[in-house]
Structure 1
Amino acid sequence: MISIKVLFFGEACQLVGKREEAIDFPEETDYEEIRKTILENYPALQKIEKVMMLAVDQEYANPGDRFELVRFTEIAVIPPLSGG
């Protein structure tokens, strides 16, 4: 396991009550495991679960993606974006 910085933006930040947190993940993992671990640690995110996006090292992640996490990896939880 490795401790990885997880960043929360917008509504995700409001739901968890913080901007970042270190969470333990397996060093070799995938999108689904990252998502599951974050939701287990922060059940309040279930409110936006169907529409939230994840990014790993500033690149959007997709179902099926696999990752080798290292000490300075960052994961971001991004709520739905709206604009005008």
Structure 2
Amino acid sequence: MESEHAVTVKVLFFAQSKELAGTREATIQVPTRISYKELLNIITETYNLQPLRNNILLAKNEEVCEQSVELEIKQEDRIAVIPPLSGG
């Protein structure tokens, strides 16, 4: 991001998202204020997660994010990509 208000966050991948991304964790720069949908788009496009896009949940610092709100992101926040879970 070229915004002067961008911060670096750690992105953590789990289960199938880890397989598609090819890594367990990565860092990415995002704006300090971003909608859930924009953040989801950036992550899915950057890390080849389009097949899971409609089923992924994002969590910021271990708290699942509301999909309808604008997020405030701080330097060093951790964003978890949680794909659909299966099993019983």
Same fold? TM cut 0.5: yes
1:70 deviation in Å? 1.1
CA distance in 1, matches of 2:72, 2:20: 28
Does structure 1 retain, via aligned residues, the 8 Å contact 2:59–2:81?
yes
1:17 alignment partner in structure 2: 22
CA distance in 2, matches of 1:52, 1:14: 14
CA distance in 2, matches of 1:74, 1:65: 18
1:51 alignment partner in structure 2: 55
CA distance in 2, matches of 1:83, 1:60: 21
1:79 alignment partner in structure 2: 83
1:65 alignment partner in structure 2: 69
2:42 alignment partner in structure 1: 37
Counterpart amino acid of residue 35 in structure 1: L
Does structure 1 retain, via aligned residues, the 8 Å contact 2:7–2:31?
yes
State the identity %.
Answer: 39
1:35 deviation in Å? 0.4
Q: Deviations over 1:16-38 (max 9, x none)?
A: 10011101100111201110111
CA distance in 2, matches of 1:64, 1:9: 23
Structure 1 length-normalised TM: 0.90
Return structure 1 stretches of 4+ with deviation > 6 angstroms: none
Counterpart amino acid of residue 20 in structure 1: E
